Structure 1
Amino acid sequence: MIELNQIVKRYKTKKQDVLAVDHVDLSIQSGSIFGVIGFSGAGKSTLVRLFNNLEQPTSGDVTIDGDNIGQLSKKDLRKKRQKVSMIFQHFNLLWSRTVLNNITFPLEIAGVPKQEAKQRAAELVELVGLKGREDAYPSELSGGQKQRVGIARALANEPTVLLCDEATSALDPQTTDEILDLLLKIKEQRNLTIVIITHEMHVIRRICDEVAVMENGSVIEQGSVTNVFENPKHEVTKRFVKEDLNDDFEDAFADIEHFGKDDYIVRLNFTGNNTTEPIVSYITRAHQIDVNILEANIKNTKSGSIGFLVLHLPNINSEKFEDFNSDLAKQQVSVEVLRHD
């Protein structure tokens, strides 16, 4: 369990004080994957560095597995950092060391016997899919391979918590998905708690259980990934969700030449099994409603599918629309009216 209680981080400069993290409370369950998302300058990277005391909070407490990080001695903090490991956007590899020697480096610092360190590193090389590349140098590796080395190195001391600071931001989309799949596999095999810092909602959607959205140092929205995607409340969250779902239904409105007073434009939101149901044919059959599809998308999350349909429903009186709305609600499909004159 990770607990952040009223965390504040201020930076003082000659010209001004910067409030990077503003009274943040978080509770992260052991064995979960927790995402923190925000645009540049939101405070998310500062926040993650407070987890292992790379940055010291101005006030507030960080507690990991019962240990208050700010109250540990220097010796105990060094030991704790071995169990709260970190991977970075730009890999931070030692360019003069091979893949295997990069992975053994933290084991050398921890005083692990050389033969044991080599054996553990060899096992990690295989785990992250780099078998046969043990003697390669970072300059000989692709971006995805470098990050695999970074992950293996972070796992060397068998941590319980893995912090990922924009770990996929420097990678192409296909490689990003490969790294996310690897993190999922490692999490299941090793029962890790993973905290992911990102500005990409795709990353959150693909592997996270819960998400916190940050803006100006504060957490402005928090909840399960499914709930946040279904019902984003803050404008920043809505923007992230819209961009990830390619939700540009406003553009489709312009294509409707004639919009009558009894016409509706609605958005249907789906989750789980109902994303695979033939909802359009059901609407036309059960309610005798004509349907014009303006926009649609379905995406996969760790816990299931989410999706939406934007429909133009012409010539419906209010009573018929209420029957339609009530029926879909019973099937756990929410209806949002986007336009009705």
Structure 2
Amino acid sequence: MRGYKVTDASRSKRVGVACQSLQELIEKGCRKLSIDHALQKKIVVQLEDGTVVDDEEYFTTLPQNTLLLFSLPGQDVLTVGGIIYDALQKINYDFLKAAEMSSEFFTEDMKNKFKALGEVLLKQKNTGKRYRSNVEDDSQWFEGLDTYAKTKEQFMFRRSQDRIRGYLYKSCDDLKKSEQYKSNHRFRAKIDSVIESFRKKLLGVQYFGTYFDRKAQKPQPKLCNEDGEFNCQGIWHKSTCSYVNHYINPYDSREARIIFSTWNLDHRIERSRTILPALLVAAEDALRRDSQINEDYFFSLLFTTVNLKLVHIVCHDKGSHDLSCDSSQFTK
């Protein structure tokens, strides 16, 4: 049995649940949160950063005492934006006091508002505590976290892993929904082999936890400098960021850490629109030619900085990216 914390969409009630599986978590959590039994199959389980937990294997990787949110289709979940606003209210900046008067603060023009909040944080750099790592030395930084991490670096390492794991599990789920996977056992074997290869490769590199770890040593890849400062790498079709103020150090303060959760690891060549459909085509080609899928190529696009860019929310373009995969790299 492992213990977790469960709350509803509005976070109005938090309960503890001891369980051995995701399904058992949902059943017990619904009972404790007084959610009708008939609605259990519709429950969406997600982490605080919005990552959906819909896979038993992914669920087993979550540490004990992780907080999980239950919601139903159509329900408004208390978003990262809401959490940020609540946290930054405590700083008592004048513009936040004024914003408190508007109930629409986090419902319209989100990107510009996050930009404004980020600028405030940059002006109040907490350089004194930036270099403190242990929870004993900067307990405020860890306030509100459900984590066993004893240092900032350990926590950030795990957050990076969570993002990469999320890409893996979402990709696996999308691939298995394809008609070819469902209907052709040889095709299914090809995809299953690629998925298993991805798992082994990611395990070997610790799911790229070093991306957010300022103490990571070469040749391990990291996206920040030794102080822990991250710079926006710019919108997907540009080589650099167009904004001089798109940088942040989540090691500075609790508020900066929360703001950093809105920064995105963006796929230049899009994961769901482009990479996964290309992988399905590669599987078909491999069957037809009796060859092997070029797993390394697709791995690099899905999980590495060959295709991933760390971007400020303003530079995260959710529209279609006009980039395609290289068909000559599909098989080997």
Q: Same fold (TM over 0.5)?
A: no
Quick check: which one's strand share is greater? 1
Higher-Rg structure is: 1
Q: Give the TM-score normalised by structure 1.
A: 0.23
Question: TM-score when scaled to structure 2?
Answer: 0.23
